[in-house]
Amino acid sequence: MPETNDFKVFVFFNDTFSGHAELKYAANIAKHLNSPLTILIPDSLETAILFAKNSKYCVREILEIAQKRISEKVSSLINACLQISYEVVPDDLNLLNSDKTIFVSNSIISEQNNFSVIAPFNEAGLLERGPGEIMIPFGNGESGIFAATKALPLIKRLGLNVVFWHTTWKNPALIANEPEQHMIEDAKSVLKTIREKADELGIKHRSVIETADDVVEGMLRFALKEHLVLIVMTRGKKTGEGRYGDRLIKRSSPIPIFMAGRGA
């Protein structure tokens, strides 16, 4: 029997193209994590009452039929061979108040900061385009450490390797060409910390330091070139405007993004 764990994957049910894509990606992640998949359905009691007034069914029957049909639809979409469990429950985001909660959604990643969200964009699964590493960009602040702390247990469970990526401004006082030479001490300290965290968990990792002209462009181009399968981000506590994670989403990253939530 495969080992189970306490990661929980959540996704909204939407009978739309993007909703189906999110559901498939969520099922794929749940399969990789060997975790249960929970499908959330918004509370539709009001619409059920309105519907009942115009049909032969009572409200309870309508809700039961809808739940049954949604279950059938989900089964057909995520394919029975995935062997994952799912349940249809009312929409309640309080369920997500856990460190090991992963919500799969393209829309709420832009607005939600309490729990961790993966935006799959147009991808059908984590390794659908072939194997690859997971990218954790870091700077000189606490964001990189926070993102690594949140994501590394997940990465360990997925059995993938990590690339710690950093870009730095060139120090005009230095003539050295190697980007590592231009890193400031704070960034070096962050790198040391996150490397140690990866080592503690036994995750294979490598570090890449660049001097990209633009952080978001450099990050995305590196990830695309190296065929990285997921980019781990978090929203910096001190940054007011132009958080890299948000800019990456705005730039329509084709690579799925994991936005580490900071808790309620």
Partner 1 sequence: MAILSAKERFLPYMVMAAVILMYAVKVIVKISVGNFVNSPVITGDGYHNASDILEAVLVITVIMLAQRPPNWKYPFGRKNVESIFELAVGLSLTYLAFRVLTQSLGGLLAYFPLLNNEIRKFVPLPEHETLLMGQEYFWWVLGTMAGSAILSVIASTIQIKVGKSFRHKSLVADGQETRSDGVIEFTAVAGILGEYSFNMPVIEYILGLGVTILLARTAFGLIVRGWRTLLQRSIGKEHEEKILDIVQKTYGVVDMAELKTFKIGAMPVLIMKVTTRSSAETALDIKSALAGRIHNYMAANEFPEWDYYIRFDKPIPHRYRISFAVISTDAGEVIAPSIKNATHFRVCDIEDEKIVRWKDYAVPPKLNDAFKLLKERRIKELRTFDEEQVTVAELQKNGINYNHTPTHDPALLGISKVTGSS
Residues that bind partner 1 (CB under 8 A): 13-19, 41-42, 44, 46-48, 50-51, 54-57, 62, 65-66, 69-70, 72-73, 122-123, 129-130, 217, 220-221, 223-225, 227, 251-255
- The answer to whether 237 touches 142, Cβ cutoff 8 Å, is yes
Phi and psi for 7 in degrees, rounded to 5?
-70, 145
**Of residues 15 and 87, the one with the C-beta less far from partner 1:** 15
CB of 90 to partner 1, least distance (A): 12
Terminal-residue alpha carbon distance, the chain: 35
Q: Which is nearer to partner 1, 50 or 264 (CB)?
A: 50
Closest approach, Cβ 75 to partner 1, in A, equals 11
CB of 228 to partner 1, least distance (A): 8
- Which is closer to partner 1, CB of 25 or CB of 146? 25
Q: Which two tokens stand for residue 168?
A: 């730095």
- Whole-angstrom Cα distance, residue 93 to residue 95? 5
Residue position matching structure tokens 């997921």: 230
Nearer to partner 1, 48 or 233 (CB): 48
Minimum distance between the CB of residue 243 and partner 1, rounded to whole angstroms? 18
Give the H or E element holding residue 102: strand 101-104
Q: How far is the CB of 142 from partner 1 (least distance, A)?
A: 28
Gap between the Cα atoms of 21 and 208, Å rounded = 32
Beta strand 257-260 with 116-119 is antiparallel
Rank residues 242 and 263 by Cβ distance to partner 1 and give the closer one.
242
